[in-house]
A and B are shown apart, each in its own frame.
Chain A
Amino acid sequence: MATIAQALRMALHKGEAELGVTDIFGEDVGPPLGGVFTCTQGLKNTWNTPLDERGIIGTAMGLALAGQRVVAEIQFVDYIYNTIDLLKLAGNSCWSSMGQFPLPMVVMSPVGSGIHGSLYHSHSFDALATHLPGWKVVLPSTPSDVYGLMISAIKDPNPVLFLYPKALIRAPSKERLPGEPEDPKVLSKLIDAPLGEARKGWEPSWPAIEPFEIPIGVAKVLKPGQQLTVATYGRMAPICQAAAERLEGEGISAEVIDLRSLYPYDEAALIQSVKKTRRFIVVNEDTEVTNFGEHLLRKITEACFYDLEAPPRLLAGLNSPGIGLAWPLEEAQVPQERHVEAELRALAALSA
């Protein structure tokens, strides 16, 4: 039904229409483009900025300090790296001032590989994002989770890094937001900007989505299972789900958990699942060294050591400086469905 791009747009519309969002800004975020992935088309409070990521994050912080509600975009997360000390400041403003200066702001950015994006349009940011205390970090994988988590992010009184998987932005979905038209073509006609001259003067007609939000920090079971637990998120979530469903036919019962939030994350849901399945694997596409999944492995090892029947595992991207453009390179560098399937099969066969 709705794509992630459409869900994001509808959530931002609710943000500016009902939740006090004053600014949705970034490079090419405003008209005429409405975002390089069309995620901000048709919104009222969008504006274009200089191509200056430090200016985007800095101005978002200043606006938030002055009481405005902002959603700032970094066009690709690969370009957020030169803002790292501003992100650190945003995360410590409340703490360093003993609560005087909380920073309610949302920074959204598409992450990950899958669009032949080469070195600077393919990166993940999981490990660095979760290394910014004071921030909340979400990375949903479906349109309804995108919608619900964006609403929560806008309402949150803290800085929230809203990451979303660029490879899934236009992927078809079986989900339908409550209140969304049944026919995707009808939704498209309502909120997708027409091409060419027809765009001049066009205004969207927003469907009435029934109120709902997804709390930050709550995971979702994509597929229940009994023999092993797969913790994943973002682009890897549907890949893990598909692999697990196929393995069901081989008699391997894997439980797939989409974390949706990386910080705070749903530790209780993971522990509960691992105590049942006794095997644990994390799958993500970030580079493998000092990977966020390694933190999850440590947590689960500490909490479930005597429950585990096999060493916990991590399937992640190769530790290479970038994603290669040619398809054999990207497919070798980032976990693919066949890699996930093989890892799950191997984990199911392992004995402690």
Chain B
Amino acid sequence: MDSLRGLPPGHAGQPALDPVLLYRLMAKSRALEERLVKMTKSADGYFWIGGPGEEAFNVPLGLLIKKGRGPAFDFLHLHYRSSAILTAMGMPMIDAIRQMASRATDPFSGGRNFVGHFAVRDWNVVPVTSPIETQYAIAPGTALAQLRHGGDAITIVNGGDAGTAEGDFATCLNWVSRPGRELPCLVIVTNNHWGISTAFDEVHGDRLIARRAGGFGIRWDTVDGNDAFAASAKLAEVFDYVRRTRKPFCLEAYVSRLHGHSSSSGGARVEEPDCLALLEARLIRDGRLTAALATEIREAYAAEALAALEKVRGEPIPDPRTIHDHVYAG
């Protein structure tokens, strides 16, 4: 890729993280998503949307976050397929289930918003929204504050390939690359090749989304987001680049969408490469994991998710008398 011009030699093929830890977190996130999908069938939740199939990219991303509150820490502007990032950052599984079940105990939105619409003040995870593009327009603001603050904190913004058809993607590329005013922003596109039911090839003439960044003088690259090792290594490289240079970078990751767009299309499993199965096979082949341990890990997280749901079923739903709470601050 010509996008790597000027970058130091990478760590191609070398996992930046403990591969078994990577596997565990991916399995945990997958178990969570599979439980969330089931909750739409068991009448425990109204609507599911999420990111099963993106774990090999999102878990290493979450592990690279400098987690905290305020401009000294990383800011995250995420879209709604980012549960594996939050899982890697330490989100308790039960909290996502609370949001799915619209419980008052949902720590992100108090039962007000869809699942996967996270908001965590203490981790700089700004409210995730249903529009597929707005986060790209907002991200330059936090990056500007971080540049002023000093230090190595960066802004991470992600979205899908479909969202890049909106003008906000170009807004982001423009605002983070103003000459002499470049911003420490990692612009990510997780390309699952779909926009709801419309295939990427049907509506996009451009083959490489990330290449658009090159027109703004922004360095860019692509990575196989189904390969946990490649994704880990590439993410480590580009995080380091943005932290160190205080300049933007655009990374496009090719990922799978294993349960379709959302429960609106049924949420059934579809035939696409499965990054969890791919990593599991590789670790078993390399002698880092046994099939029995892999099964044990997956079953343990599935049991944790089910136990969490059973607990959440007993938790309170929002009181309509709270509707006007938090309309205004102060």
Contact of A94 with B327 at beta-carbon distance under 8 Å, contacts A62-B138, A67-B70 already known:
yes
- Report which of A62, A95, A104 forms a contact with B145, defined as CB distance below 8 A: A62
The answer to whether A62 touches B325, judged by C-beta atoms less than 8 angstroms apart, is: no
Judge whether B263 is part of the interface by a CB distance below 8 angstroms.
no
- Report which of B107, B109, B141 forms a contact with A62, defined as CB distance below 8 A: B141
Q: Which residue of B is nearest A104, CB measured?
A: B329
The answer to whether A97 touches B127, judged by C-beta atoms less than 8 angstroms apart, is: yes
Q: How far is the CA of A57 from the CA of B326 in the complex (A)?
A: 22
User: Which residues of the other chain, B, contact A54 by a CB distance below 8 angstroms?
Assistant: 137, 167-168, 171
- What is the 8 Å Cβ interface bit string for chain A, positions 277-317, against chain B (1 contact, 0 not)? 00000000000000000000000000000000000000000
Distance from A194 Cβ to chain B, minimum over Cβ atoms (Å): 28
- Report which of A64, A89, A98, A104 forms a contact with B129, defined as CB distance below 8 A: A89
Judge whether A141 is part of the interface by a CB distance below 8 angstroms.
no
Contact of A62 with B140 at beta-carbon distance under 8 Å, contacts A68-B145, A94-B327 already known:
yes
Judge whether B121 is part of the interface by a CB distance below 8 angstroms.
yes
Contact of A101 with B121 at beta-carbon distance under 8 Å, contacts A59-B141, A62-B143, A65-B138 already known:
yes
- What is the 8 Å Cβ interface bit string for chain B, positions 128-151, against chain A (1 contact, 0 not)? 010100101111111111101000
Q: Which residue of B is nearest A135, CB measured?
A: B328
Residues 191-230 of A contacting B (Cβ, < 8 Å): none
Q: How large is the interface on A (under 10, 10 to 19, 20 to 34, 35 or more residues)?
A: 35 or more
The answer to whether B167 touches A101, judged by C-beta atoms less than 8 angstroms apart, is: no
Judge whether B297 is part of the interface by a CB distance below 8 angstroms.
no
Distance from A101 Cβ to chain B, minimum over Cβ atoms (Å): 6
Q: How far is the CA of A99 from the CA of B121 in the complex (A)?
A: 10
The answer to whether B141 touches A60, judged by C-beta atoms less than 8 angstroms apart, is: yes
Residues 123-182 of A contacting B (Cβ, < 8 Å): 133-134, 136, 156-158
Instruction: Report, nearest first, the 7 A-B pairs whose CB atoms are least far apart.
Output: A62-B141, A58-B137, A66-B145, A102-B329, A97-B119, A100-B121, A63-B141
Binds A, one of B17-25, B110-118, B285-293: B110-118
User: Which residues of the other chain, A, contact B220 by a CB distance below 8 angstroms?
Assistant: none
Distance from B74 Cβ to chain A, minimum over Cβ atoms (Å): 11
Residues 224-275 of A contacting B (Cβ, < 8 Å): none
Q: How far is the CA of A96 from the CA of B109 in the complex (A)?
A: 5
Judge whether B249 is part of the interface by a CB distance below 8 angstroms.
no
Judge whether A186 is part of the interface by a CB distance below 8 angstroms.
no
Distance from A313 Cβ to chain B, minimum over Cβ atoms (Å): 31
Contact of A67 with B167 at beta-carbon distance under 8 Å, contacts A55-B137, A58-B140, A89-B129 already known:
no
Residues 1-46 of A contacting B (Cβ, < 8 Å): 22
Q: How far is the CA of A64 from the CA of B140 in the complex (A)?
A: 11
User: Which residues of the other chain, A, contact B146 by a CB distance below 8 angstroms?
Assistant: 66
Judge whether B108 is part of the interface by a CB distance below 8 angstroms.
yes
